[in-house]
Amino acid sequence: MASPHVHYHEPACPHAGCQQRMEWIDFQLELFGDPEGIYKPLVRSWWEGVGFVGRCPGCGGWIRFTTLRMEAVTDDQAGQFPKLPDNWHTVAQFA
């Protein structure tokens, strides 16, 4: 399965008041060098439709990323999903 990359038709962070835009994201999970702990579980979750969560690089709120959309989630909800590394946005490519 390929590493997740996506285009969102609604690219604004889903948290109210945040100005961060993420229209195109290439998560580049392979660059973390942890195939068993990061790459495989997140890629599997992505392609199975569950997606994963990570903090917005703008506001720090939790976002659930899926193949179809981004959605704001609470701290409690974030615990139910696989998580991107804290520094995911420094590795990912945005457009």
pLDDT of 20 over the 80 cut: yes
The position carrying tokens 């229209």 is 23
pLDDT of 2 over the 90 cut: no
Q: How far apart are CA 37 and CA 58, in angstroms?
A: 26
Q: How far apart are CA 42 and CA 81, in angstroms?
A: 10
Q: Residue 64's domain spans which residues?
A: 5-94
Mean predicted confidence (pLDDT) in 15-42: 96
Sign of CA dihedral 14, 18, 21, 22: negative
Q: How far apart are CA 75 and CA 62, in angstroms?
A: 7
Say if residues 5 and 43 touch (Cβ distance below 8 Å): no
What is the domain count for the chain? 1
What is the percent of the chain where pLDDT is above 90? Answer: 96
pLDDT of 1 over the 90 cut: no
